[in-house]
Structure 1
Amino acid sequence: MTVAHGATGRALRQLADAERQAIHHTDRVKDLALWRAAAFRLLRDLDQDTTDLHLLGQGNNVVFRVGAPNGPLVLRLHRPGVRPREVTEAELRFQAALSRRAAVRMPTPMMQAHGGYTVKTIVQGTGPVHADLSSWCPGEVRRPGSGLTLDDARRAGAALARIHQFSETYPAEPRWPVWNADTLFTAASPYEPGDLSRVFLPEQRAVLNFVEQRTREVLRTLPRRPDTFGVIHADFILGNLLFADDEVTVLDFDDCGLGWFVYDLCPLLGNLADQPDFAAWKQAVFSGYASIRALPDGALDKAVLQVLMAARHAAQCLWGAGLVGRGAEFDVGRHTAWRFEAIRRLLGSEAPFLS
């Protein structure tokens, strides 16, 4: 009898879960339909009338590929409360200047009639949002084992170096985040993770606190000069690089701000760190970078790189917490688990409790 009741209870819980998922899926479909309707209205207002709209992603913003009359475009609709319009304008000003003057391939932001890059629109059920349009860039994401070559890694390193070279003389925008230990690890993060105890268990907080402490120690040793600290991409990963023939296109400057150039190398290196021949991949990235400008301080220090790669993984846990706090559909538990596994591989020898 106990088994029967237990089985019935499990069945009822599974049914309830399935119903909740079905309701959530229906809500998301309705929500997306409202964002699509807003996109179509906005495109008509901008003389880009089309019926060809393909969803590319939805997280902190809702992104569509637009089959526009004069060629494909990318439309971003920014969810309210994620970041101010002024910060998006700063991102797009930097991106436009970079694409004009630094030989870096990237989507080109479209300036609007009022002289800025963003426009306002209304999403039913959400309210006012801001949006921007940029050019479409062809290419494919490549990873080790699925098309990525050492030459690709060299090209990626060179592209990042060009961004850093340009940023040495680019004036800082007042609303940009400064990527330091506070913005990477605390509630002050632009990711707006909220109360960290709401998402992370005490033992997980201990890991994050350890990485934060080591990151503070490392960043205190790094000089803050124009050749070491400036505008960084802050999300330079394989998923934001498109490869086509012998060219690489850099996407997604959403997180750009001020920070140490050596930290900006670490998201890409983190993508490659679990490869058996990581040394060869790192050398390829570094040789491409060094073909444009000198490697930043700390890049040749293994301990510095390991800590900053771990910092990137830890900071992305806060990014996930921010998504959950805004009601996004995101498996923060699974995401945190694999990020912590990467942290253990990088720093396990420093702190036995990580193992």
Structure 2
Amino acid sequence: MLYEDAFLQRLETGLRSALPNWRLPSSAPLSLLTISENATYVAEDEANGRRVILRVHRPDYHTRDEIVSELNWISALREDGVVETPRPIPAKDGELLCAFDDSGHRRYVVAFEHMSGKEPDTSDDLVKWYGVLGAINARLHTHSRGWAKPTGFARKNWNFDTIIGSRAHWGDWRDGLGLDAGGRAILERAAALLERQTAAYGSSDDKYGLVHCDMRPANLLVDGDRLGVIDFDDCGTSWFAYDFAASVSFLESEPFIPELMSAWVDGYRDYVPLSREDEATLPMFLMLRRLQLTAWIASHSETPTAQSMGVPYTEGSVALAESYLTKNG
């Protein structure tokens, strides 16, 4: 229960002390936008109407080098016209990363320009937007394969072990909320199958590299015909095809998933080839992601997203795993 009221109050106090780094008065109107892995705020510059998005990083998650590396990749993607995403705002000293003291702990803060738009939802033409997203992913993956990473570049590796295995970054899916012995047995079988399948698929350079890893609807902004992408906080090295699984996070059981998958594949192939082997892995990675998020909900139970999902999400994971095992067992 990290993000309790007392902790959030300390974060706001510390963040106000850091606002002058971006030429904002410490008294600027400041409101909490979202709590997920990090706490994200919006500050209003009353002098000129400017809105600044400020991300206060979760303790003990990313290192300083990892955060700077994320910002370096965002800057490269913007410079090369790969994706429309908000510009990181440098502080007065030119640095992209600032910090404030929280009872002897350094809390890192990053500022971004505000991007207009709204999250696409089921009332929108999601099939259309997932076609656009497929093309965005194709451009991003092409850039990833060819980009010369700067010295000291460091991001997390999202492989089987760190997604749902022995070194899982987001906790153990066995702690899933409401998971009983029967459900655990089903998920154990699914996890064992996924371990074999991902090992057989492999992680050669044509399949595995730097990816966004969280292009779900909450991190997309629609404005007219533009689809913007935000929040590269989970970017790291993983399977390129895993980007699709991440894009349907918390939607995995919806009946329209096959349509979104088909649109994503078509959009991807409009830009670069996608092999039949790679396409065939998408359901596998969707199941892998579902187990990862089952763990995330348990380990981040204080967040609004986890609270909105709760025990029913774990139950849905068991049902999805049963179906997956029937088709692939």
TM norm. shorter chain > 0.5? yes
Q: What is the CA deviation profile of residues 271-314 of structure 1, one whole-angstrom value per residue up to 9, with x for unaligned ones?
A: 6654545443322221111122222563432xx32221111010
Q: Which residue of 2 aligns with 1:132?
A: 110
Alpha-carbon distance in structure 2 between the residues aligned to 1:283 and 1:66: 39
User: In 2 relative to 1, CA 316–275 (structure 1 residues): closer, same or farther, beyond 3 Å?
Assistant: closer
CA-CA distance at 1:150 after TM superposition: 2.8
Q: Which residue of 2 aligns with 1:261?
A: 240
Q: Which residue of 1 aligns with 2:18?
A: 42
User: In 2 relative to 1, CA 89–240 (structure 1 residues): closer, same or farther, beyond 3 Å?
Assistant: same
Alpha-carbon distance in structure 1 between the residues aligned to 2:91 and 2:21: 11
Q: Which residue of 1 aligns with 2:56?
A: 77
Q: Which residue of 1 aligns with 2:293?
A: 316
Unpaired runs of 5+ residues, structure 1, are 1-23
CA-CA distance at 1:344 after TM superposition: 2.2
User: In 2 relative to 1, CA 195–236 (structure 1 residues): closer, same or farther, beyond 3 Å?
Assistant: closer
CA-CA distance at 1:226 after TM superposition: 3.2
Q: Is residue 31 of structure 2 the alignment partner of residue 54 of structure 1? A: yes
User: In 2 relative to 1, CA 297–318 (structure 1 residues): closer, same or farther, beyond 3 Å?
Assistant: farther
* Residue type of the alignment partner of 1:32: L
Structure 1, 271-280 or 241-250: larger mean CA deviation: 271-280
User: In 2 relative to 1, CA 329–134 (structure 1 residues): closer, same or farther, beyond 3 Å?
Assistant: closer
* Residue type of the alignment partner of 1:311: L
The percent of aligned pairs where both chains have the same amino acid is 20
1:63 to 16, 30, 40: 40
Q: Which residue of 1 aligns with 2:156?
A: 177
CA-CA distance at 1:269 after TM superposition: 4.5
Q: Which residue of 1 aligns with 2:121?
A: 143
User: In 2 relative to 1, CA 117–212 (structure 1 residues): closer, same or farther, beyond 3 Å?
Assistant: farther
CA-CA distance at 1:168 after TM superposition: 0.6
User: In 2 relative to 1, CA 198–270 (structure 1 residues): closer, same or farther, beyond 3 Å?
Assistant: closer
The alignment partner of 1:265 has SS state of helix
Residue pair 1:310, 1:347 contacting (<8 A) in 2 also: no
Q: Which residue of 2 aligns with 1:107?
A: 86
Alignment of 1:278-317 (within 5 A): 278-295=257-274, 298-301=277-280, 304-317=281-294
User: In 2 relative to 1, CA 300–45 (structure 1 residues): closer, same or farther, beyond 3 Å?
Assistant: closer
Q: TM-score, normalised by structure 1?
A: 0.79
Larger Rg belongs to: 1
User: In 2 relative to 1, CA 333–55 (structure 1 residues): closer, same or farther, beyond 3 Å?
Assistant: closer
Alignment of 1:162-311 (within 5 A): 162-171=139-148, 175-191=154-170, 193=171, 196=174, 201-269=180-248, 274-295=253-274, 298-301=277-280, 304-311=281-288
Unpaired runs of 5+ residues, structure 2, are none
Residue pair 1:234, 1:257 contacting (<8 A) in 2 also: yes
Residue pair 1:120, 1:130 contacting (<8 A) in 2 also: yes
2:313 to 338, 347, 353: 338
Q: What is the CA deviation profile of residues 4-59 of structure 1, one whole-angstrom value per residue up to 9, with x for unaligned ones?
A: xxxxxxxxxxxxxxxxxxxx9xx944433332222221112432225221211123
Q: What is the CA deviation profile of residues 67-93 of structure 1, one whole-angstrom value per residue up to 9, with x for unaligned ones?
A: 135521210111322222221111111
Q: What is the CA deviation profile of residues 116-140 of structure 1, one whole-angstrom value per residue up to 9, with x for unaligned ones?
A: 42111123x5732111101111111
User: In 2 relative to 1, CA 155–321 (structure 1 residues): closer, same or farther, beyond 3 Å?
Assistant: same
CA-CA distance at 1:202 after TM superposition: 4.2
* Residue type of the alignment partner of 1:256: C
User: In 2 relative to 1, CA 202–87 (structure 1 residues): closer, same or farther, beyond 3 Å?
Assistant: farther
Alpha-carbon distance in structure 2 between the residues aligned to 1:35 and 1:349: 42
Residue pair 1:222, 1:297 contacting (<8 A) in 2 also: no
Residue pair 2:187, 2:321 contacting (<8 A) in 1 also: no
Q: What is the CA deviation profile of residues 187-245 of structure 1, one whole-angstrom value per residue up to 9, with x for unaligned ones?
A: 51222x27956975544443443232222222223243433211111112112111111
The alignment partner of 2:31 has SS state of strand
2:72 to 90, 93, 116: 93
User: In 2 relative to 1, CA 343–109 (structure 1 residues): closer, same or farther, beyond 3 Å?
Assistant: farther
The alignment partner of 1:108 has SS state of coil
Alpha-carbon distance in structure 2 between the residues aligned to 1:277 and 1:32: 37
* Residue type of the alignment partner of 1:220: A
Residue pair 2:173, 2:294 contacting (<8 A) in 1 also: no
Residue pair 1:317, 1:335 contacting (<8 A) in 2 also: no
The alignment partner of 1:300 has SS state of helix
Alpha-carbon distance in structure 2 between the residues aligned to 1:167 and 1:37: 38
Alpha-carbon distance in structure 2 between the residues aligned to 1:291 and 1:320: 35
